[in-house]
């Protein structure tokens, strides 16, 4: 019998700690598949964030380090400049990348660091129990926006792809989702391109993934994916925000 | 002069490649020490009074084909150091007091993850923006942790341009030997001071003794590795912290360094570090010429602290004077070491100015 599908070598043979319906498991899997397909497992160094996905290193099967909250792009810069022939990527949430680590991501992107960033936007702080994130949408209820996010009190959702698209050092920006099989395939294509760009030394690539957080959204897994498609993606439209011309 | 060291590494002797005396600034001597120690990557951010260091490194590191980045902040710089250290590279950053406060988050992570690196603090006056003159106000921050959590880093306090070179060189070896961040705690006076020095160049060859079998460089031909400071499994953090404690105890046993002058018959003992010790040293010479039995202990390692020698000398002395360019920080460690055997007096200068020789002499005569 021909084997047509198996667990990627870049994933350890373990069940993960994520909630039912969470997007992290899918995104971890996509990254593992892409790393396998590009044959780069033995030269990849991943940077796990502060948040639920800090435990990504228990699931991936390659070298991984932790970093302080918001600092993965600076850590990645240190690694990549010292080992330019290795593949370095950061895996960051919305609080990590778009709040406390705003300076680090903007400057790493603007320096054109030849790294890949997977930015998981689930519109709240998942691990700490569902507080407002920079990407929480207007009207969205969280533990710290009990009446819904109000622009006057809480400011506006931060649109990272739009923001970074003006920077000269950036090679590639795409926003994807993992809410449907079709979106998952599209997300995989984008993530693969972001890694290929690094292999081709094209500079900074970031893929923003709209991800579902059913527990903190207080939705069932099916309602959560529906909310991504029908509500979240209205504030954060899917698509390519920047793509450099091939060298 | 007795140079007390329980460690084998000599401070001043080395395999000399050149004997020329050259006029050198303290901040440049730090860079030269780092370059000769094989520093692979430097990450900096402008702040007075250490600006000569990033400027010098930006040129030198490029010429040597090594890594230099001017980071967007001190926070980013220390995290770039974290990244470089993860790959097993020799990495450093330099800054001054307010910038070192910003680096404390990263230093705590480096200590927790047991990553070697060198951090230079060319201290200026504080708190807050303070001023840009030399100070010793960061003793507590450097020696008592600084960042969150239960940890220590090795702290070295140079008192001359020559020692800026020697101790920076040594710092890289100690960092690698113990997988620990090492801080050079100096100040704006020594940083800006120029002295004719015979640098006594050392070579990194042979100083990198151990293969870093923990570094991350891709898992080719081995199992994947992990660098972390998070220990969520039951009992995991306690085990890790006891392991750190054991390491720190080992460092206390073998790496204490100090200089002792005229301590054999000292009736009054001065304890001072860095630039203050330099001034005290000449004050002691003058007082000896007048027939006063005064001695000096100059801790070179502020952590681990040379408490045993201070206690020994204190047991034969009548009084101790601690002089610092702050409101009284190291004096607490001296008091702990002395443990009431004899009275401990303090002379402070917390405004970013240095002592004059006369101030020290006058204080000694008073007590």
Q: Is A81 on the interface with B (CB under 8 A)?
A: yes
Judge whether B43 is closer than 8 Å to chain A, CB to CB: yes
Residue B6 has pLDDT above 50, yes or no: no
pLDDT at site B16: 45
The ipTM (two decimal places) reads 0.96
Q: Which range, of B17-31, B168-182, B241-255, averages the lowest pLDDT?
A: B17-31
Residue pair A236/A135 in contact (Cβ under 8 Å)? The answer is yes
pTM: 0.95
Cα–Cα dist B292/B287, whole Å: 5
Nearest to B69 among A67, A71, A77 (CB): A77
A67 CB within 8 Å of a chain B CB: yes
The tally of domains found in chain A comes to 1
Report the pLDDT value the prediction gives residue A2, as an integer from 0 to 100. Answer: 84
Number of H helices, E strands in chain B: 12, 16
Mean pLDDT of A23-32: 97
**Chain B CB within 8 Å of residue A41 CB:** yes
- Averaged pLDDT of chain A: 96
Q: Name which of A63, A84, A198 to mutate to probe chain B: the one with the most chain B Cβ atoms within 10 A of its Cβ.
A: A63
Under the banding of pLDDT at 50, 70 and 90, the label for residue B211 is confident
Confidence check: pLDDT of A131 > 90: yes
Of B230, B148, B165, nearest to B200 (Cα)?
B165
Question: Are residues A81 and B67, on separate chains, in Cβ contact within 8 Å?
Answer: yes
A interface mutation test: which of B39, B45, B73, B216 has the most A CBs within 10 A? B216
B73 in contact with A at a CB cutoff of 8 Å?
yes
At which residue do the structure tokens 């004059």 appear? B356
Say yes or no for a CB contact (<8 Å) between A62 and B227.
no
Q: What is the mean pLDDT of residues B178-190?
A: 97
Average pLDDT over residues B289-294: 96
Which CATH number characterizes residue A159's domain? 3.40.50.970
Which tens digit of pLDDT belongs to each residue from B89-131? 999 999 999 999 999 999 999 999 999 999 999 999 999 999 9
Interchain contact B65–A (C-beta under 8 A): no
pLDDT digits (tens, 9 = 90+) for A31-82: 999 999 999 999 999 999 999 999 999 999 999 999 999 999 999 999 999 9
Chain B contacts of A106, Cβ < 8 Å? 72
Residues contacting residue A105 through CB under 8 Å, at least 6 positions apart: A73, A92, A97, A98, A117, A160, A164, A206
pLDDT over threshold 50, residue B9:
no
pLDDT category, A119, cuts 50, 70, 90?
A: very high
Flag whether residue B363 sits within 8 Å of chain A, measured between CB atoms. Answer: no
List B residues 189-228 in contact with A (Cβ-Cβ < 8 A).
216-221, 224-228
Percent of chain B with pLDDT strictly greater than 90: 89
Closest approach of chain B CAs to the CA of A240, in angstroms?
Answer: 27
pLDDT per position as a tens digit, B313-355: 999 999 999 999 999 999 999 999 999 999 999 999 998 889 9
Give dist(CA B148, CA B145) in Å, integer: 7
Of B75, B224, B230, which is closest to A54 when you measure between CB atoms? B230
State percent of chain B over pLDDT 70: 93
Say if the Cβ atoms of A103 and B227 lie within 8 Å. Answer: no
Asked whether the beta carbons of A68 and A80 are under 8 A apart, the reply is no
- What is the model's pLDDT at position B15? 44
Domain of residue A127 covers 24-243
CATH number corresponding to B10-215+245-250: 3.40.50.970
A-chain residues near B104 (CB < 8 A): none
> B285-290 contacts: CB < 8 A, separation 24 or more?
B286/B357, B286/B361, B287/B361, B287/B364, B288/B262
Calculate how close chain A gets to B239, using CA atoms only, in Å: 19
Instruction: Say what the pLDDT of residue B207 is.
Output: 63
- Confidence (pLDDT) at B4: 53
A64 domain-assigned: yes
CB within 8 Å of chain A, chain B residues 97-156:
105-106, 109, 113
Least Cα distance to B281 among B184, B164, B360, B342 occurs for: B360
pLDDT tier, B20 (very low <50, low <70, confident <90, very high otherwise): confident
A68 touches B: beta carbon within 8 Å: yes
**Alpha-carbon dihedral of residues B274, B275, B280, B285, nearest 10 degrees?**
100
Domain B257-366, architecture per CATH: 3-Layer(aba) Sandwich (3.40)
Residue A10 lies in a domain: no
Sign of CA dihedral B287, B288, B294, B298: positive
Answer whether residue B26 shows pLDDT above 80: yes
* pLDDT value of position B209: 61
Distance, CA of B320 to CA of B316 (rounded, Å): 11
Q: What is the pLDDT of residues A157-199, one digit of tens each?
A: 999 999 999 999 999 999 999 999 999 999 999 999 999 999 9
Domain ranges in chain B are: 10-215+245-250, 257-366
């Amino acid at each position: 019998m021909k084997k047509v599908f198996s667990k990627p070598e870049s994933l350890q043979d373990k069940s993960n700690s994520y909630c039912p319906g969470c997007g992290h498991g899918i995104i971890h899997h996509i990254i593992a598949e892409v790393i396998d397909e590009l044959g780069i497992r033995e030269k990849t160094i991943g940077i796990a964030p502060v948040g639920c996905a800090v435990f990504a290193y228990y699931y991936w099967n390659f070298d991984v380090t932790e970093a302080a909250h918001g600092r993965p792009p600076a850590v990645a810069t240190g690694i990549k400049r010292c080992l330019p022939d290795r593949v370095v990527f950061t895996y960051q949430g919305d609080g990590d990348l778009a709040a406390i680590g705003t300076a680090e991501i903007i400057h790493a992107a603007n320096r054109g660091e030849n790294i890949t960033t997977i930015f998981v936007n689930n519109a709240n702080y998942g691990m700490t129990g569902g507080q407002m994130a920079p990407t929480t949408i207007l009207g969205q209820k969280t533990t710290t926006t009990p009446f819904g996010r109000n622009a006057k009190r809480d400011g506006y959702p931060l649109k990272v792809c739009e923001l970074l698209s003006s920077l000269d050092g950036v090679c590639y920006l795409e926003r994807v989702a993992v809410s449907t099989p079709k979106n998952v395939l599209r997300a995989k294509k984008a993530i693969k391109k972001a890694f290929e760009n690094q292999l081709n030394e094209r500079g900074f690539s970031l893929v923003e993934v709209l991800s579902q957080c059913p527990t903190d959204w207080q939705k069932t897994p099916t309602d959560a994916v529906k909310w991504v498609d029908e509500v979240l993606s209205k504030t954060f439209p899917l698509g390519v925000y920047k793509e450099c011309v091939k060298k | 002069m007795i140079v007390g060291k329980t460690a084998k590494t000599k401070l001043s002797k080395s395999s000399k490649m050149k004997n020329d005396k050259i006029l050198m600034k303290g901040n440049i001597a730090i860079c030269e020490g780092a370059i000769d120690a094989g520093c692979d990557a430097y990450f900096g951010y402008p702040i007075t009074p250490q600006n000569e260091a990033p400027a010098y490194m930006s040129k030198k590191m490029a010429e040597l084909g090594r890594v230099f980045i001017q980071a967007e902040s001190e926070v980013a710089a220390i995290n770039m150091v974290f990244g470089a250290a993860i790959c097993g590279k020799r990495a450093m950053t330099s800054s001054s007091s307010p910038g070192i406060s910003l680096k404390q988050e990263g230093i705590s992570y480096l200590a927790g993850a047991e990553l070697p690196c060198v951090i230079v603090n060319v201290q200026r006056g504080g708190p807050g923006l303070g001023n840009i003159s030399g100070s010793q106000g960061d003793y507590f921050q450097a020696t008592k942790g600084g960042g969150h959590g239960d940890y220590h880093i090795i702290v070295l306090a140079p008192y001359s341009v020559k020692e800026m070179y020697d101790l920076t060189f040594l710092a890289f070896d100690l960092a690698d030997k113990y997988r620990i961040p090492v801080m050079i705690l100096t100040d704006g006076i020594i940083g800006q001071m120029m002295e004719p020095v015979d640098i006594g160049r050392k070579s990194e060859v042979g100083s990198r003794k151990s293969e870093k079998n923990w570094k991350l460089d891709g898992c080719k031909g081995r199992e994947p590795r992990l660098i972390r400071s998070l220990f969520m499994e039951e009992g995991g953090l306690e085990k890790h912290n006891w392991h750190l404690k054991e390491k720190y105890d080992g460092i206390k046993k073998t790496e204490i360094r100090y200089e002792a002058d005229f301590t054999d018959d000292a009736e009054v003992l001065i304890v001072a570090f860095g630039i203050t010790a330099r001034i005290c040293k000449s004050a002691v010479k003058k007082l000896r010429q007048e027939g006063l039995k005064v001695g000096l202990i100059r801790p070179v390692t502020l952590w681990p602290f040379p408490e045993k020698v201070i206690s020994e000398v204190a047991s034969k002395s009548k009084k101790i004077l601690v002089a610092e360019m702050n409101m009284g920080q190291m004096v607490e460690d001296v008091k702990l070491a002395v443990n009431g055997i004899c009275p401990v007096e303090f002379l402070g200068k917390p405004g970013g100015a240095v002592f004059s020789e006369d101030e020290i002499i006058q204080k000694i005569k008073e007590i």
